[in-house]
Amino acid sequence: MSESTEHSTPQTAPAVTAHHDQPERLAKTLKPQWVFAIALGSAVGWGAFILPTDWLATGGPLGVLSGFGIGAALMIVIAVSYGFLIRTFPVSGGELAYALIGFGRVQAFFAGWFLTLGYICIVALNASALALLFRTLMPSIIETGYLYTVAGWDVYLPEVLISITALVVFALLNIRGSAISGRIQFWACVIMMVAVAAILIAVLASPVSVMANMSPSLPDGVNPSAAIFAIVAIAPWAFIGFDNVPQAAEEFDFSPSKAMRLIILAILAAAALYMAMVFAVAVAEPWQELATSGSAWGTAEAVTGIMGGSGLFLLAVAITMGVSTGLNGFYVSASRILLAMGRAQMIPPVFARLHPKYKTPHIGILAVMLICLISPWFGRAALTWVVDMSSIGVTIAYLYTCLCAFRIFRPSSETPAADALPGTYSTVKKVLSGLGAVIAVFFMGLLLIPGSPGALGRESLIALAVWIVIGIVFFVSRIRHNRRLTDAQVDMLVLGNERPAPTRFRERAQLRREGALPQPDDETSREG
């Protein structure tokens, strides 16, 4: 391999070749607006329309609105690293590829393993959310055909069938091509945003809605910092979705340099939708009365109190679109992670195969569907045990992405090396990538430290331990096979090209020890 590179991004490998170092690449069919919709639609799901009263009870209007604003800002800090790495390495696999570049194959496997868990859990949760919506709107129809009770949740045959149907339909849509799923994602997001805008306008235009309903701004006995912190703690869950963008990077039909802008816009749009629904509920009627009323769906009670049946219809439409975009977006992401792991032969290489007609990772899509088809039979209560710890997988991905970017970025004061990647010499970006890693560790602490606002329950920790053990067994079973591949071959399989010289950290460290490369603090000759 050459120690220099003339390109800021790896070149796309030939479509199909007998040489295993150049796997078949995905078609470039995703437009910018579709990628924006993948990020936004994946982030905003059922919670934005079901949970506003729960959030108000926790943080009050001031705590919730401030918390979502701060949470969005923290996510944007993390997005800086994503934008740079997507531009530099526009390949499927996203965080797996970044962990490979920054820390090698072993850590890349576990980054991919945890992220796969997170994405598959969210696919299953969205399918169950769709069934829950029907159960809420049509209980007399759905709550028939009782099967059994799991963890206090009564499981009925109709809701199981609704979840299964949703999983199968979206799997088939994704197999038929990212152009179809991308277009559906975009229009579903448009409909969702229109529905939210209509609800907000109608509520604000009503004479019943008054700002006085937002008083007091905080729950009784709760100080502002505690109220805000409790909402910031759910930011990893609330904004999961923007990290789907790197999974689709290989399929962009536009310059990957636009990715950061799309991600930031999606984060801001998601925050706006969350805050719009909370604000609409808070001004529609006194929020404290609503939060303590014991209503099963306080959001619907507030909106229908102003708009009547039309409000319930708009809420149902918004939830359906939010759940559908989440299903679609995380099918895309989970299957692309499996595709990248299959290419690297971290899992059976059959996952690297593309559909002969549609050129989609159909094996990964079908695998996600088959795993998720088990979930409707266990009821939503048991499913939440697994889903609650899925945020761990995503925060691990955040951490690897930011640490990889931190390793690549160089201070502005250094003299750019001849083989430097464009955009790597920035003190501000290096600081932001380091701060992003700290934020990711902070979010992980919120999930794992007992007593913290987002601490996982015992059942979720047990599920996490089981997934870790399965991953270790899987990894050990593939060690002998993986040793047959050199690091250069794995790079080619995942990145589609040789790794750029500035990211060959191990080689360059050895050369520095041997004196063949100058040290980073050598004032006469600095390199990236």
Using the predicted structure, report yes or no on whether residue 422 has a pLDDT greater than 70.
yes
Residue 19, pLDDT above cutoff 90: no
Residue 183: band (very low, low, confident or very high) from pLDDT cuts 50, 70, 90: very high
Please choose, from the candidates 267, 252, 239, the residue with its C-alpha nearest in 3D space to the C-alpha of residue 89: 252
Look at 151 and 109; give whichever has higher pLDDT: 109
Query: Can you list the positions of beta strands (E) in 371-493?
Result: none
Q: What is the mean predicted confidence (pLDDT) over 22-33?
A: 86
Residue 524's pLDDT is 37
Beta strands 153-156 and 146-150, pairing class: antiparallel
Q: Is 460 exposed, middle or buried (0-12, 13-18, 19+ CB in 10 A)?
A: buried
Does the pLDDT value for residue 18 go beyond 70?
Answer: no
For 153, list phi and psi in degrees, rounded to 5: -105, 120
Lowest mean pLDDT among 195-204, 230-239, 283-292, 317-326: 230-239
Averaged confidence pLDDT in the chain: 87
Count of C-beta atoms within a 10 Å radius of residue 61: 24
Contact 240, 42 (CB under 8 A): yes
Name residue 390's amino acid: S
- Reported residue count of the chain is 528
Among residues 57, 242, 61, which one has the least CA distance to residue 69? 61
Confidence of residue 385 (pLDDT cuts 50, 70, 90): confident
Predicted local confidence at residue 210, as pLDDT: 87
Name the token pair of 473.
């067994």
Average pLDDT over residues 337-341: 94
Q: Is the pLDDT of residue 12 over 50?
A: no
* Residue 30: strand pairing partners: 252
- φ, ψ dihedrals at 39, nearest 5°: -70, -50
Six token digits for residue 22: 């150049």
Q: Three-class SS of residue 347? A: coil
pLDDT in tens, 126-164: 998 888 889 888 999 999 999 999 888 899 999 999 999
Q: Are 223 and 58 in contact (CB under 8 A)?
A: no
Q: Which residues contact 417 (CB under 8 A, 6 or more apart)?
A: 502, 526, 527, 528
Give the pLDDT band of residue 5 (cuts 50, 70, 90). very low
Task: Tell me what pLDDT residue 6 has.
Answer: 35
pLDDT recorded at residue 525: 38
Residue 490 zone, left/alpha/beta (φ > 0; ψ -120 to 50; rest): alpha
Q: What is the pLDDT of residue 316?
A: 93
Q: Which pLDDT tens digit goes with each residue over 209-220?
A: 888 889 899 998
Residue with tokens 């796969």: 116
The rounded distance, in Å, linking the Cα atoms of 104 and 238 is 30
Task: Tell me the HSE value of 4 on the side-chain side, using a 13 A CA sphere.
Answer: 5
Q: Which residue has the higher pLDDT, 194 or 394?
A: 194
d(CA 164, CA 130): 10
Residue 150: its H or E element: strand 146-150
Name the residue with higher pLDDT: 247 or 506.
247
Which pLDDT band holds residue 459 (cuts at 50, 70, 90)? confident
Q: Is the pLDDT of residue 306 over 60?
A: yes
Q: Using the predicted structure, report yes or no on whether residue 111 has a pLDDT greater than 90.
A: yes
What is the rounded radius of gyration, in angstroms, for the C-alpha atoms of the chain? 24
Place of tokens 């229109």: 194
Q: How confident is the model at residue 513 (pLDDT cuts 50, 70, 90)?
A: low
Assess whether pLDDT exceeds 70 at residue 522.
no
**Weakest mean pLDDT among 225-229, 234-238, 410-414:** 234-238
Provide the percentage of residues in the chain whose pLDDT is more than 70: 91
Is residue 22 over pLDDT 60?
yes
Q: At what angle do helices 259-284 and 52-88 cross, to 10 degrees?
A: 170
Q: Model confidence at 177, in pLDDT bands (50, 70, 90)?
A: confident
Q: Which of 404, 461, 510, 526 minimizes the C-alpha distance to 103? A: 404
What does the pLDDT read at residue 4?
A: 35
Share of the chain above pLDDT 90, in %: 52
Do residues 322 and 192 lie in contact, with contact meaning Cβ atoms separated by under 8 Å?
Answer: yes
CB atoms within 10 A of CB 473: 10
The domain spans of the chain are 32-413+429-513
pLDDT-derived band at 14 (thresholds 50, 70, 90) equals very low
For the stretch 258-284, pLDDT in tens is 999 999 999 999 999 999 999 999 999
Q: How many CA atoms lie within 13 A of 409 on its CB side?
A: 24
Q: What is the pLDDT of residues 471-510, one digit of tens each?
A: 999 889 888 887 888 888 888 889 888 887 777 776 666 6
For the stretch 39-98, pLDDT in tens is 999 999 888 998 899 899 989 999 999 999 999 999 999 999 999 999 999 998 889 999
| Alpha-carbon gap, residue 302 to 418, rounded angstroms | 62
The CATH H-level (homologous superfamily) assignment of domain 32-413+429-513 is Amino acid/polyamine transporter I (1.20.1740.10)
pLDDT value of residue 515: 63
Distance of alpha carbon 29 from alpha carbon 178, whole angstroms = 7
